[in-house]
Structure 1
């Protein structure tokens, strides 16, 4: 595609674009209409990709330019492309060639399904196929399949959704893009104080009030569980290690099940009376143990803003 067509920006004569970051990647989500592109976009967004839907292929280059500019924090761009005509396909071929020239890493995800299933899906939502144009539904499907034949051959990942539920499709996507198993589950642990209310958004709630309270130790009262002295006191208290050694494998068992059932975000709440000492120390230690199993874990403390300065 030549410059005068407006597709490829001019970066000649010292006006060069910035080099893409080593971890910058473009994912092109395409395939047959009705095969699950919208669901795939939702799943990919959950994985941390910046998703742009219904993007004309020729707009991908300026979007990549913006994402690779200095200061951009977006390193994963997913573009959902609906190839509705031969001109769209020609534009996409030129874009892919240019991404190769720029050294931008990209993958093509192609979603497919049997004609009979696509017909059933379109009839269930009572919407015309984008290439139907007043003809029979099957005519639009056949035209689209012909248009996409070469793109499917070029795809890095092809998923047939004929017999997949939306949850099974999501699991397939996680497997294809991130790998299998519990490492696809992101865990957030936060400490809280029961005196300020039990959280409603937790998948698990653990009560640390069975441990001795550092609040009653004068030299620890004004500290928090982030302090080494408090943490040592809590973790060396009777029952602390026994709890962690039992609770950690229980959480891991649940996370393995969640990964199979298309649940990829887990929230664990660890509580004590005021949310300052025991719950904070135990949250940090549980996070450390889960990370040792390869999990992605973040930690926060709901009540630490209440701590006296």
Structure 2
């Protein structure tokens, strides 16, 4: 059971072993599609619906998830994407103590399930409503200039930098190995991409390894 596994992990950690727990999860819809494609019965729902088994599994593993070092939502990841995420996270100990994943996304495409911290930047003017900027993304200079030129953006970034100047050293002292920060706007194409890149640049100055993933940048 989840409780037995948690006790075993605690016992291993007590032996001064460098133990890190990776927790892979997916949305209910993604799991249902996978069970349907595999034509398998959920082991916790032999006589019930697969969705009932998924719910029981989440309940049993809740404590393990809560104490995991890294949580990865595989709902929209290909096997190649997942491989890259794991290689980045477990690269043989060459990375500093804390690896930060900055993931930008669009709320209209679904929330970011595996974020430790989530920032909503929809309060800023949306470049989508400007004809010349709509087909571009936050990696293009005109969009970046527009977003960073807003008065509220400067205030937001100043306070955001101060927040992470405080948080990251505290996380390192606490022994945290992985941190996923979600930055969301409406579509995940403009504002979140710009601010995700700016945030990542600042975090790198704090001496941590930073990876950036623009989940929805190519979506309409």
Q: Does 1:200 align with 2:113?
A: yes
Equivalent pairs counted in the alignment come to 140
Provide Cα deviations, 1:75-98, integer angstroms capped at 9, x if missing partner: xxxxxxxxxxxxxxxxxxxxxxxx
Rounded to whole Å, the distance in 1 between the matches of 2:155 and 2:14 is: 49
Does residue 213 of the first structure (1) align with residue 192 of the second (2)?
no
CA distance in 1, matches of 2:14, 2:203: 36
Taking the aligned partners of 1:271 and 1:296, their CA distance within structure 2 comes to 21
Instruction: Give me the TM-score of the superposition, normalised by structure 1.
Output: 0.42
- Residue 182 of structure 2: which of 240, 245, 269 is its match? 269
Match of 1:22 in 2: none
Task: State the shift of 1:188 in Å.
Answer: 0.8
Q: Do residues 295 (structure 1) and 208 (structure 2) align?
A: yes
Give the Cα–Cα distance (whole angstroms) in 1 for the partners of residues 104 and 151 of structure 2.
Answer: 20
Match of 1:283 among 196, 199, 203: 196
- Segments of structure 2 that go 5 or more residues without pairing to the other structure are 1-12, 23-68, 70-92
Distance 1:263 1:233, change over 3 A: same
Larger radius of gyration: 1
Q: What corresponds to 2:73 in structure 1?
A: none
- CA gap of 1:257–1:178, structure 2 versus 1, over 3 A, is farther
Which ranges of structure 1 fall in alignment gaps of 5 or more residues?
A: 1-33, 47-166, 168-176
Could you say what secondary structure the match of 2:128 adopts? helix
In the other structure, the counterpart of 2:152 is: 239
